Amino acid sequence: MIRKMIPVALTFFSLTTFVSGQITCPACEIDLPADLPDDTLYLAAAPVGRVGEWYSADIGFRVPLSTTPVAAIDSTVTPGVTINKITLTGITNLPPGLAWEVPQAMFNLPDSTDGCIKICGTPLQPGLYFVNVVITAQVFIFTQSATFTFPILIEPAQSITEGFTILNTSGCGELTTGFVNNVPSGGNSGFSYFWDFGNGNFSPQENPAVQTYTTPGQYAVNYQAVIDTFGHFLTNVRVNQVSCSDLFNGPDLKIFIYDPDSVEVFASSTIQNANPPVDFIVNIPIGPGNYRLRVIDEDDGILGGADDECGTITFNRTLSGNLQGGPLHAFLDIIHPTDTIRSSDTVTVFAQPAPPLIEGLPSGPLCDEEVLTVTVNYSNNLQWYRDSVPVIPGDESVLDIAESGVYQVVYTSPDGCLATSAPASVIFAPLPSIPVYVSSNNRLTLFDPSVLPAAAALRWYLNGTLIPGETGETYCISESGDYTLEVVDLISGCANSFTLPISYNPGFPNCIVSDTRESIFRQGGVSVWPNPVRDVLELRIDTGEPMEIQGQLIDAQGRAVSAVLWMPAAGEQRRKIDMHAYPAGIYWLRLQAGADHAVVKIVKM
Instruction: Give the domain CATH number at 146.
Output: 2.60.40.10
> Domain holding 295: CATH number?
2.60.40.150
The answer to the question of residue 560 being in a domain is: yes
Number of domains in the chain: 6
User: 182 and 138 in one domain?
Assistant: no
DSSP classification of residue 264: E
State the Cα–Cα distance between residues 94 and 582, nearest whole angstrom.
Answer: 100
Contact yes or no for 351/417 (Cβ under 8 A): yes
Residues 6+ apart with CB under 8 A from 363: none
User: 552 and 438 in one domain?
Assistant: no
User: 44 and 96 in one domain?
Assistant: yes
b vs e for 170-186, b when ≥16 Cβ sit within 10 Å of the residue's Cβ? bbbeebebebebebeee
User: 538 and 510 in one domain?
Assistant: no
pLDDT digits (tens, 9 = 90+) for 294-336: 999 987 644 556 788 999 999 999 888 999 999 999 999 999 8
The answer to the question of residue 344 being in a domain is: no
Segments forming the whole domain that contains residue 107 = 2-155
User: 84 and 8 in one domain?
Assistant: yes
The answer to the question of residue 60 being in a domain is: yes
Query: What pLDDT is attached to residue 181?
Result: 95
Mean pLDDT of 61-78: 83
State the Cα–Cα distance between residues 511 and 502, nearest whole angstrom.
Answer: 14
Query: What pLDDT is attached to residue 221?
Result: 93
- Residue 315 exposed, middle or buried by CB count within 10 Å (0-12, 13-18, 19+): buried
Strand partners, 314: 292
Domain end call among 426, 460, 495: 426
DSSP classification of residue 335: E
Domain end call among 516, 544, 564: 516
Strand partners, 574: 540
User: 183 and 149 in one domain?
Assistant: no
The answer to the question of residue 351 being in a domain is: no
The answer to the question of residue 540 being in a domain is: yes
The answer to the question of residue 243 being in a domain is: yes
Strand partners, 223: 195, 343
Q: What is the DSSP string of 44-56?
A: PPPPPEETTS-EE
Query: What pLDDT is attached to residue 6?
Result: 25
Contact yes or no for 551/590 (Cβ under 8 A): yes
Contact yes or no for 319/212 (Cβ under 8 A): no
Kind plus residue range of the DSSP H or E element containing 314? strand 308-315
pLDDT digits (tens, 9 = 90+) for 255-291: 999 999 999 999 999 998 888 999 999 999 999 999 9
- Signed CA dihedral, 278, 286, 284, 313: sign only: positive
pLDDT digits (tens, 9 = 90+) for 383-442: 999 998 888 888 899 999 999 999 999 998 888 788 999 999 999 999 999 999 888 888
Mean pLDDT of 547-552: 79
pLDDT digits (tens, 9 = 90+) for 193-246: 999 999 999 999 999 999 999 999 999 999 999 998 888 999 999 999 998 887
Based on C-alpha coordinates, what's the Rg of the chain?
A: 56
Q: What is the DSSP string of 194-247?
A: EEE-SSS-EE--SSPPPEEE-SSEEEEEEEEEEE--S-EEEEEEEEEE-S---S
Give residue 555's pLDDT band: very low, low, confident or very high (50, 70, 90). confident
The answer to the question of residue 353 being in a domain is: no
pLDDT digits (tens, 9 = 90+) for 146-190: 777 889 998 866 544 479 998 888 888 999 999 999 999 999 999
Query: What pLDDT is attached to residue 133?
Result: 84
Residues 6+ apart with CB under 8 A from 571: 542, 543
Q: What is the DSSP string of 366-412?
A: EETT--EEEEES--SSEEEEETTEE-SS--SSEEEE-S-EEEEEEEE
User: 136 and 8 in one domain?
Assistant: yes
The answer to the question of residue 346 being in a domain is: no
State the Cα–Cα distance between residues 245 and 234, nearest whole angstrom.
Answer: 26
Checking DSSP bridges between strand 372-376 and strand 398-401, what pairing results, if any?
Answer: antiparallel
Report if pTM > 0.75. Answer: no
Contact yes or no for 120/56 (Cβ under 8 A): yes
> Which is more confident, 154 or 520?
154
User: 122 and 111 in one domain?
Assistant: yes
State the Cα–Cα distance between residues 296 and 307, nearest whole angstrom.
Answer: 6
**Average pLDDT value for the chain:** 85
Phi/psi-derived region of residue 530, left when phi > 0, alpha when psi is between -120 and 50, beta in every other case: beta
Residue 346 predicted with pLDDT over 50 = yes
Query: What pLDDT is attached to residue 237?
Result: 95
Cα separation of the two ends of the chain: 114
- Residue 94 exposed, middle or buried by CB count within 10 Å (0-12, 13-18, 19+): buried
Contact yes or no for 373/399 (Cβ under 8 A): yes
Query: What pLDDT is attached to residue 409?
Result: 94
Give residue 513's pLDDT band: very low, low, confident or very high (50, 70, 90). low
What are the E-state strand segments in 269-307?
Answer: 278-286, 291-297
Q: What is the DSSP string of 507-533?
A: TSGGG---S-PPPSEEEEEEEEESSSB
- Residue 274 exposed, middle or buried by CB count within 10 Å (0-12, 13-18, 19+): buried
C-beta atoms surrounding 560 within 10 Å: 13
Checking DSSP bridges between strand 382-386 and strand 465-466, what pairing results, if any?
Answer: unpaired
State the Cα–Cα distance between residues 443 and 60, nearest whole angstrom.
Answer: 125
Closest CA to 354 of 338, 376, 333, 371: 376
Residues 6+ apart with CB under 8 A from 303: 247
Residue 5 predicted with pLDDT over 50 = no
State the Cα–Cα distance between residues 154 and 96, nearest whole angstrom.
Answer: 10
State the Cα–Cα distance between residues 552 and 595, nearest whole angstrom.
Answer: 15
